Amino acid sequence: ADLGLIPIKAVVFQSMLLLVAIALEAMVLRQHLRLGYQTSVQYAATINLLTTSLGWIAFLSLEAVLPTALRQQIMSYVLFSRFFDNPWLDALPVMMVVAAIVVFFATYWVKLQGLSALVALLGKAPVLEAPALSDRPGRSRSSRRGAPSAARSRTATYTLAVLQANALSFTAIVILLFLQLQVVLP
Closest CA to 35 of 150, 147, 133, 165: 165
What is the C-alpha separation between 46 and 56, in angstroms, rounded?
16
The pTM of this model reads 0.77
Give the model confidence (pLDDT) of 92-143 as tens digits.
788 888 999 999 999 999 999 999 898 888 876 665 554 444 444 555 444 4
Average pLDDT for residues 167-173, to the nearest whole number? 95
Give the model confidence (pLDDT) of 28-61 as tens digits.
999 998 888 999 999 999 999 999 999 989 988 9
